[in-house]
Structure 1
Amino acid sequence: MGSDPELLARIRAINDSAAFNRWCGFEVLRAGAGVAELAMPWRPEVGQYAGFLHAGLLGALIDTACGFAAATLVGRVLASHYSVNCLRPAVGERFVARARVVKPGKTQVFTACDLFALQGADEKLVATGETLLTVVAVAA
């Protein structure tokens, strides 16, 4: 997944403007035309009762990474629908979401994402997801 410095700066600025993203510790690693990669470190307050990353944060990572991938092509978007498939317990030191646009459009964008848990050099796929995003018209 390549990265475009201009798109990366724009997506990082969007990420930095969101209080929730800052609280989660989301970091935009890469952004290019139709792709984005987002990371989040593990910390106990994002876990559920058994010590795994909470499924709500799996969804947040997938939704956010997909939104950023779409934003690289069409600008502002809002989630219309998203789904998450939890494949295994999300246990790791860090989590990385790699999103891509499947089909862009004028009013909606279809995206997909793979979410990995990293433990040292070991990387395991823990969830996948898809989003349908609505393009938001910017008021003039």
Structure 2
Amino acid sequence: MLDTIQAINKTAAFNRWAGFEVTRAAAGEAELRMEWREEDMGQYAGFLHAGLIGAMLDTACGFAAATVAGRVLASHFSVNCLSPALGRAFIARGKVVKAGRKQVFTTAELYGQGDGGSLKLVATGSAILVPVEEPPPAK
């Protein structure tokens, strides 16, 4: 399962730019890691930009959902920023709360990782994802 989610991650241009690395995937769970880049990831005060916080939470939720429902698209997601996002890296952990035929409910947590490897919770999120059919082959 990890290989499948890692392969999906590599097809997304945004994920490649951001440096998202899928570090774990199991039934109903996924974990991402992203190294901090001061030159293009911060907001005006030097913390991780909320757009990237949302992207990591959304992606972790989507990959967790994909482990049980296949191809999915987000129909709703929300983000709660709990503290300034600081770290040398960031780790997002997503999990499925309930998977139905038409909707998959997920949650995620985002942690800032310090120099010593310690983790601090900086944001949480939730997403509702919708299973979609595979696209037809390109002609």
TM-score range, shorter chain: over 0.9
Q: Specify every segment of 5 or more residues in structure 2 that has no aligned partner in the other structure, as ranges.
A: none
- Structure 1: runs of 5+ lacking an equivalent: 1-6
Q: What aligned pairs does 1:2-21 form with structure 2 within 5 A after superposition?
A: 7-21=1-15
Residue 138 of structure 1 aligns with an amino acid whose one-letter code is E
Is residue 2:81 matched to residue 1:123?
A: no
Root-mean-square deviation over aligned CA pairs: 0.8
Question: Deviation per CA, 1:74-95, whole angstroms, max 9, x where unpaired?
Answer: 1000010000000000000000
Give the match for residue 130 of structure 2.
134
Number of equivalences: 134
After superposition, where does 1:51-66 map in structure 2 within 5 Å?
A: 51-66=46-61
TM norm structure 2: 0.94
Give the SS at the match of 2:6: helix
The one-letter code sitting in structure 2 at the alignment partner of 1:58 is: I
Residue 26 of structure 1 pairs with residue 20 of structure 2:
yes
- Deviation, 1:138, is 2.0
SS at match of 1:31: strand
Q: How far does residue 15 in structure 1 lie from its aligned partner after superposition?
A: 0.2
- Superposed structure 1 runs of 4+ greater than 2 Å apart: none
Task: Identify which of 72, 80, 83 aligns with 2:67.
Answer: 72
Q: Aligned in 2, Cα 1:139/1:21: closer, same or farther, shift over 3 Å?
A: closer
Identity %: 62
Q: 1:10-39: per-residue Cα shift (whole Å, max 9, x none)? A: 000000011100000000000000000001
Superposed displacement of residue 139, structure 1: 4.5
